[in-house]
Amino acid sequence: MSKPKLALYWAASCGGCEIAVLDIEEKILDVDANFEIVLWPCVTDFKYNDVRSMPDKAIDLCLFNGGIRTSENREIAELLRKKSKILVAFGSCAGEGCIPGLANLSTKKSLFDRVYKETPSTDNSNGMFPQTVTKISEGELEIPEFLEKLIPLDAVVPVDYYIPGCPPQPHQVWAVLEHIIQGKPLPPQGSVLGAGVKSCCDECPRTREEKKIRRFYRPHEILVDPRQCLLDQGIVCCGPATRSGCGALCVSAGVPCRGCYGAPPESPDQGAKMLSALSSVIDSTDPEEIEQIISTIADPVGTFYRFSLAGSMLGRRGK
């Protein structure tokens, strides 16, 4: 009996999701024993043509991490959707855009100007920029096109399941792989796997008294009470706007929740949910004073939409 086929692909992301697969430790041997890996560019030297030559739906499970930022990302997303029975948006980048999605606050031109002209270490007096096609004596060289903005995987192809996290927790990764190995019934299509249905606050061990605050702090600016709710102390913690399931690992260690599990199920937009949560703790009704209190929040968009900007209702800054 042939093994189920497994594909893993790395698009626009940092690579942490690739490490998360290895973080299942000795169970990686079970993966090798129970799956035939047919694509894993980070680890093995498979070629895209190997996948193109497969029959449609030949791949049983594909873990696709990273957002879609280049024409190559988009092409391979479409290819893997065609060839895979189950396509999983693996991690925050594939699901919502994550940190690379914050580049959507800038245009493609402004990004290229910054990288190839304006940085102090750049010497580009000829104003050269990457070209998708470059002619040389031997022929033509092609590189992928850098798209105008980053988009999540499900903006390009239908996604069967989502595994949140930056990166996903090892036990979540193994739970999905084990599910396929054991041939268990699959959850409803579109389900978020390895996550809860409430907010991170429901898992947080800290005590909340719903205090009113008059300014916000970054964690290094105050001495943090290890038992009290971080938001009650004026530290911007995205727990109220983040789906449960991580075990509140960050807040338990004294670090405010950054929001990598995405919005809770009943909240369509993580940033809007966070704004609502903060409005309930501001100790003022005076518009000018409220504005002053809000001004103490460093980088609101990068804080409230750190992981979800590309997939949010906000999407990107208008032109």
Q: pLDDT digit string (tens) for 221-252?
A: 999 999 999 999 999 999 999 999 999 999 99
68, β-bridge pairs:
151
Percent of the chain at pLDDT exceeding 70: 98
Distances (CA, A) of 74 to 90, 150, 210: 16, 10, 45
| CA dist., res. 243 & res. 267, Å (int) | 9
Cα four-point dihedral sign 43, 76, 7, 37: negative
Selected residue with higher pLDDT from 7 and 213: 7
| CA dist., res. 97 & res. 103, Å (int) | 10
| CA dist., res. 196 & res. 80, Å (int) | 28
CATH fold label, 5-99+150-181: Rossmann fold (3.40.50)
* Contact of 251 with 206, CB cutoff 8 Å: yes
Q: What is residue 73's predicted lDDT score, i.e. its pLDDT?
A: 97
Q: pLDDT digit string (tens) for 155-168?
A: 999 999 999 999 99
Q: What per-residue string of b and e applies to 109-146 under the rule 16 or more CB within 10 Å gives b?
A: eeeeeeeeeeeeeeeeeeeeeeeeeeeeeeeeeeeebe
Q: What is residue 182's predicted lDDT score, i.e. its pLDDT?
A: 87
| CA dist., res. 135 & res. 310, Å (int) | 34
The number of C-alpha atoms within 13 Å of 226 and in the hemisphere containing its C-beta is: 2
Q: pLDDT digit string (tens) for 267-319?
A: 889 999 999 999 888 988 899 999 999 999 989 999 999 999 999 987 744 43
| CA dist., res. 224 & res. 211, Å (int) | 15
Sheet holding 59-65, edge to edge: 36-39, 5-10, 59-65, 84-90, 161-163
- For the residues 161-179, what does the mean pLDDT come to? 90
Element (H, E) at 5: strand 5-10
Q: pLDDT digit string (tens) for 91-150?
A: 999 999 999 999 999 999 999 999 999 999 999 988 899 999 999 999 999 999 999 999
- Give domain limits for the chain: 5-99+150-181, 106-147, 200-304
Q: What is residue 317's predicted lDDT score, i.e. its pLDDT?
A: 44
Tell me how long the chain is: 319
Number of CB atoms found within 10 A of residue 29's CB: 10
Distances (CA, A) of 293 to 71, 79, 271, 288: 43, 49, 18, 9
- For the residues 18-34, what does the mean pLDDT come to? 92
Q: What tokens does 67 get?
A: 């957002």
Give the type of residue at 252: S
Backbone dihedral angles phi then psi of residue 64, each to the nearest 5 degrees: -105, 115
Whole-prediction pTM = 0.91
On the question of pLDDT at 1 being above 80, the answer is: no
Q: What tokens does 191 get?
A: 């389900």
